[in-house]
Structure 1
């Protein structure tokens, strides 16, 4: 988002007074084109290779696995297209901020609409294979929607005390979203550690039992020989 926003600023405020500014403009145009192409490329790539992705093709997993491994790729096209919606939503968000600065009500309404749409997508398609991430992303999106609502209330003619209350709520919700995201990472990490420990125990237990069986068998054979 930062690169896209900076590139848009460079294009909007273009200046040909020096060679450096011209180079900056050209680079900014290239960056804008790359950002706009990102969701399209991701959609085409994932759609064309959906069969290989579902069957964990070795080549696809080795080259592009980090783009797919955490999603429910076998539950339809919608569940596997999180990054397409992710990038598209952020591109639209930046464009709304730049193009609708003179119409704050429309700007705010579209931001809330984007948030509601993304929340609907997360709740219906549940794209993440890890349930913790599905829940925390929904909670975070609800928090983002509340931030937009509080920002809208702040734009109204309200008392100074009300403004202060809205500012406090904005800070609280921003921190809440950050802690939810960090907490989800910690929970997933902890869950994976527990799973690894359980797998190690399951590997050791059969080996231990087999060793006991061998020892018991040898004792029985020796006892038979004595008889």
Structure 2
């Protein structure tokens, strides 16, 4: 393979990794507790605007449906003021993921791993959380203290996949195909052992409990893409 072909391949792989990194970053940001910046992006149609630039609607009906659902919520929240839009998202976020009372869809891998073993009685802060934190550290990403969320929160796991994709893109751009392949393999191993094991069940629980289309669409995209 001549230098021109190697350079072209590196550029293509870097571009694909950049896209993957940005998609995971958007999903991560939207699956954290909503702040004014997120509410503003939703009101202005920036979430679907950017996701439609990055994702192929025609790749599956599920992707297209999720984008349509996010767009519907964007249109609805654009009709009210910014703080009311943020509050609407926060009320739904708390109802699904935080409480008070029964939490409909705990966004933590520990919960889903222990629920599967204990017939519906999931727990937080299990050994899985520590495994996830060690995986981050092994790839050069130290978990800060304090962290806005536990390391095994779905948004944090997606943020890690975003980080890995960006590092892979940088390796391709520097012409280091071996390092890019190592990073890609490490990200795939993490996805296989962690978010992929519970993203589907989590997404289904979100869909069952939601009153707003936003979070089911986001969790569905996460389940599809990890």
Structure showing greater relative contact order (alpha-carbon pairs closer than 8 Å, 6 or more residues apart) = 2
User: Of Structure 1 and Structure 2, which has the larger fraction of its residues in helix?
Assistant: 1
Q: Which has the larger radius of gyration?
A: 1
TM > 0.5 fold call: no
Q: Compute the TM-score of the two structures, normalised by the length of structure 1.
A: 0.29
